[in-house]
Structure 1
Amino acid sequence: MNEVKSMGTAVVTGASAGIGALYVDRLARRGYDVILIARDEARLNKVAGRIGEITGRTLTVLRADLNDRADLRKVETLLRTNQSITMLVNNAGFGSVASLLDADIDKMEDMISLNVTALTRLTYAAVPGFVARGDGAIINISSIVGIAPEVLNGVYGATKAYVLALAYSLHKELAGKGVRIQTVLPGATATEFWDAAGFSHSDMPASWVMKAEDLVDAALAGYDMGELITIPPLQDGGDWTLFEAARRELSTKFQQSKPGARYCNPDNI
């Protein structure tokens, strides 16, 4: 396994299980050393030990709660100072299926803090070094609810829409600077996510739920294809191409000094 070309070091958040642990496995097999970050150190050690033995790569565990300011700063410092880091996978996050009337606002605030604030701060910590070295990649895990926020909890959908919007901006700013951006939009995936969200994926039709292994392998295939946005459950990529073309066309029609005619009807004044 050591004959695989070294790809530098990848940092994976939310790496103790599910999608994050699978990214650790797949990236190690591709030749990355990996720094695993999550709250549960025992589970991190188990993942690192198993994958390190299989791949022969160097896997390092860093216990951190990204909703804790001191722990978040610790990870930011790592990203700023460790020049071997060539990839950041922002996977840590959680969701909810609760309606506005049923949701705990403190939990919603925690969701925003992890899904948006921590992801943003880690991205901002990693990018300057990537740009200086002319090499690096950011993979952010969003969700299909970033496009379809009506599907689950509205705050969760809003946090994932933020991640999608950030992708476009990062791509524009970093084009030509040697930094790759990819945002992955999973659909329903068989992971522990649903337990934390308050709903079991086993209660959904099996045809809706993707295996986590298939999700990560498809996401990395999209990465290899150079995709900015990767949506593994979308069967026809042409649908996304049409959606993107319509969005970009619409965005060219906003530079106007006067309101649209529909707002200027005297009968409405």
Structure 2
Amino acid sequence: MSSINVSSKNMTHKSALVTGASSGIGAVYADRFAKRGYDLVLVARDHARMEALAERLRRETGVVVDILQADLTDAGELAQVEERLRTDTHISILVNNAGVSAASSFIDQSPDEVAKIISLNTIALTRLASAVAPRFVRAGDGAIINISSAVALVPEFGLTVYGATKAFVLFLTQGLHFELGSKGVYVQAVLPASTQTEIWERSGWDMNALPPAMKVDELVDAALVGFDRRETVTIPSLLDAEQWNTFDAARQSMIPNFNQVDAADRYRLASKPYVRQLS
């Protein structure tokens, strides 16, 4: 992992650290926060692409950009990004964007492929949030943007491991909202549907076989509207927000019924014939 300070200017502005920043969603988030006046810390494996992005953003916006080349599935390199989040008091926004998928079905994925998806999409994301959250709480300010996916809500799509990791990200975000929101820390889950990023090709998908997808710029701009509104869950492609509200209200309505000392009648009544038979 290498760190390059691309400007000698003192870092007096707030900064945003963006993972998966070399392309796609991460690169657009970097562009948008730079245009909002934030200095940047870009994290990804592809140093050359980050350097090109940094040079453009410095030229167009005058912000300070620091490049951290890191593979977040490598424990040592991940630890260095964690340390940056713990100690750099200029960083007030973490964009947890880095992620990976696989085109193959669960039974065709090797244990190593499964482990890589889980490692990047959940473990690295959680460790980075864990590294920065205590400092945000002490400051009473800060924001964590976690990129989940609409797949988190659709097991029917068959992206079992990827979808499970994104469901984890959604739950984590909702949990952090309840834990940290009252302490001044804003946490947002963004659930893109199909988006025109390189993740599909890198995962082995046939791009010609995929349905039309949202442009990355439109996705991020919509997500930032949700960010400015302080939404906990932002689904840019969902046309009717009441569908999510109804879904979430149905979930909340079940909560009082979970903590029961007796099993539901439908299970107790069904088991009685077996009890009599064994007696």
**Equivalent position amino acid for 1:25 in 2:** D
Q: Show the counterpart of 1:56.
A: 62
Instruction: Give, in whole Å, the separation in 2 of the partners of 1:14 and 1:145.
Output: 19
Instruction: Give, in whole Å, the separation in 2 of the partners of 1:84 and 1:75.
Output: 14
Instruction: Give, in whole Å, the separation in 2 of the partners of 1:55 and 1:268.
Output: 73
Q: Show the counterpart of 1:235.
A: 239
**Equivalent position amino acid for 1:238 in 2:** E
Q: Show the counterpart of 2:263.
A: 259
Instruction: Give, in whole Å, the separation in 1 of the partners of 2:267 and 2:233.
Output: 35
Alpha-carbon distance, 1:7 to partner: 5.7
**In the superposition, relative to structure 1, how do residues 104 and 130 fare at CA in structure 2: closer, same or farther (>3 Å)?**
same
**In the superposition, relative to structure 1, how do residues 253 and 7 fare at CA in structure 2: closer, same or farther (>3 Å)?**
farther
Instruction: Give, in whole Å, the separation in 2 of the partners of 1:261 and 1:247.
Output: 20
**Equivalent position amino acid for 1:176 in 2:** S
**Structure holding more helix per residue:** 2
**Equivalent position amino acid for 2:100 in 1:** F
Q: Show the counterpart of 1:3.
A: none
Structure 1 stretches of 5 or more lacking a match?
A: 1-5
1:186/1:232 contact within 8 Å kept: yes
Instruction: Give, in whole Å, the separation in 2 of the partners of 1:11 and 1:153.
Output: 28
Q: Show the counterpart of 1:104.
A: 110
* Alignment of 1:137 onto 2:143: yes
Moved over 2 A (4+): 200-206
SS at match of 2:157: coil
Q: Show the counterpart of 2:17.
A: 11
1:74 corresponds, among 58, 68, 80, to 80
Q: Show the counterpart of 2:184.
A: 178
RMSD of equivalent CA atoms? 1.2
Alpha-carbon distance, 1:135 to partner: 0.9
Alpha-carbon distance, 1:50 to partner: 1.0
**In the superposition, relative to structure 1, how do residues 152 and 55 fare at CA in structure 2: closer, same or farther (>3 Å)?**
farther
Alpha-carbon distance, 1:200 to partner: 3.5
1:96/1:152 contact within 8 Å kept: no
Q: Show the counterpart of 1:150.
A: 156
SS at match of 1:125: helix
TM-score for the superposition, normalised by structure 2: 0.91
Choose 1 or 2 for highest CA Rg: 2
After superposition, where does 1:210-221 map in structure 2 within 5 Å? 210-221=214-225
Alpha-carbon distance, 1:182 to partner: 0.4
**Equivalent position amino acid for 2:209 in 1:** D
**In the superposition, relative to structure 1, how do residues 236 and 221 fare at CA in structure 2: closer, same or farther (>3 Å)?**
same
Alpha-carbon distance, 1:202 to partner: 3.8
Structure 2 stretches of 5 or more lacking a match?
A: 1-11
Alpha-carbon distance, 1:126 to partner: 0.4
Instruction: Give, in whole Å, the separation in 2 of the partners of 1:107 and 1:160.
Output: 16
